[in-house]
Structure 1
């Protein structure tokens, strides 16, 4: 009955809205969410089905072990999340659209019922995301569409596991589960950077503990190398963001054509510097596949998910790895004004050192 009442509330919110574009967006969101709920199957039933492929059976068994780990070792509020399974007919469950003005690093924000404002819009079908992007591109906005393997409904629904998870390598599937479960701990309306950086920090620290406890030293070392590359990439992006911010601060004094030319030069320098990083690594890094289309929207996306991760990880270190205490401190910080939260996390991030 809880799920039915939530569906009824969702429909009331959607069809109570006005405006053609808003109505279309919320209709596709409702249809996508309802489709997941209607097509899910209890994982216990999938495991009991003799026709279930062995590869899927192994993934779902691992997922159930990861759920127990999340609850017992990370104090995450698992409840009935990831207890059902849905087979998707597309590689990603949602396609997120990020938009930023041509001469600003501050992404556009859209405000929704219940959850507040977020700096992205999620579409269940790629064609819808592309159509929305065209509207902003015609206004000379920077845009980016990224496929999303999972998202959280913040406890409003019992989110199912879906085939986007089970096609990932084992450690990536576990990490993604931890990330989405972390969103159930704390959610700050109108602060995507806080929410996503916190969830990414839980994902990273949780995965490290998972690999230690499951005696996978090789994968643990790979994870540490991946973290090092993310850190180097974030440092490069922050340097680029600083240069762009200084440039955009001159909007009133410089002609748009001059701003555009200098912006292009800065982004080309980022591409060159990042290429040198990948050459040194000998393999693709975090921006592989998107560096060629780097713009304000891509920079905004990367910073939203990673900028405050070092600060949150330092908070966890300061609690001696006690996740429950860490969550309490994060909730306390969440009650502070946005500027206080940002300064605190930046200060914590400066003192964080990766133990490699």
Structure 2
């Protein structure tokens, strides 16, 4: 009943919005999530059924252990999240569209009720995303559509578990559950870096405790390795972005063909530098094995995440590792103006050192 009443409220919100395109977009969002909810089967029931494969049954049992751990050890607001399971017919649950002008790294922003403005637009149907993408392509924008393994409704709904989770390795599934549940604690409109860094910090610290208690410390080490790879990739991306910003500042002074040629050279060099760097890694990197189609949209999207993870992890340490106190400290931090909270997180990050 809770789910249906909230969907009804969202439907009222959608019908109150002006513009056919706006109503159409929110309609697909509501119907897509409603369809996901209605397709769910109780996890406990699937675990008990003989027809459930042994592999899926094992993953489902693990998910419920992780869910209890998130509630009892990490003090996350679990409610009834992840108590239903949905088998998806695709490897992603939604896709996100990013659109950025040809000679800029400032993405187009869409604004939403509750969530605020974001540099991406999510779709349950790939064809709908491509239809919107073509509108920006005709305007000469760089665009990118990427699949999203999971998303959070920030506690508005009891989000289901789905095959996007259970298709992952065990450690990554548990980490993703912690990450998505962390979004239910706190969310700042329009501040992706804050929101994602916080959730990633909870994911890492939660996985660290989980690894210790499960007797598999490699789970945490592999997660740290993925974060290091992302940070190393981000350093490459930031260096290229700085060069692109300098180049784009000459728009209107240099002819467009010359700008395009130099832009292409910089992006090709970024791809080559990434291939060289990632050759040392034992796990696939965040841009895959050999990145193709690098453009302003992919760079703009990649730069939004995780720069404050060390700061949040230090803030947890400052609270003696007590998660309820940590969430209170994060809530106080969220009330500061953006410049002040960014400065505070930067100062916390400088104090952070990884335990060896």
Band the TM-score falls in, shorter-chain normalisation: over 0.9
Q: State the partner residue of 2:224.
A: 224
Query: Alpha carbon RMSD of aligned pairs, Å?
Result: 2.0
Structure 2 segments unaligned to the other structure (5+ residues)? none
Confirm or deny: 8 A CA contact 2:275 2:289 kept in the other structure.
no
The reply on whether 1:8 has 2:8 as its aligned counterpart is yes
Q: State the partner residue of 2:164.
A: 164
Deviations 1:131-168 (A, max 9, x none): 21111111111211111111111111111101111111
Inter-partner Cα distance in structure 2 for 1:204 and 1:218:
13
Alignment of 1:199-218 (within 5 A): 199-218=199-218
**SS, match of residue 305 in structure 1:** coil
Distance 1:344 1:178, change over 3 A: same
**SS, match of residue 292 in structure 2:** helix
Range with greater deviation from structure 2 (78-87 or 244-253): 244-253
Aligned residue pairs total 356
Deviations 1:34-58 (A, max 9, x none): 1012111221222222222221111
Q: State the partner residue of 1:243.
A: 243
Q: 1:181: Cα distance to partner? A: 0.3
Inter-partner Cα distance in structure 1 for 2:266 and 2:349:
25
Alignment of 1:48-87 (within 5 A): 48-87=48-87
Confirm or deny: 8 A CA contact 1:197 1:304 kept in the other structure.
no
Distance 1:321 1:173, change over 3 A: same
Alignment of 1:276-291 (within 5 A): 276-281=276-281, 284-288=284-288, 291=291
- TM-score between the two structures when normalised by the length of structure 2: 0.93
Confirm or deny: 8 A CA contact 2:88 2:162 kept in the other structure.
yes
Inter-partner Cα distance in structure 1 for 2:147 and 2:102:
22
Q: State the partner residue of 1:321.
A: 321
Confirm or deny: 8 A CA contact 1:143 1:297 kept in the other structure.
yes
Deviations 1:290-313 (A, max 9, x none): 722222221222222223223322
- TM-score between the two structures when normalised by the length of structure 1: 0.93
Range with greater deviation from structure 2 (308-317 or 115-124): 308-317
Distance 1:266 1:4, change over 3 A: same
Inter-partner Cα distance in structure 2 for 1:334 and 1:290:
38
Q: 1:279: Cα distance to partner? A: 1.8
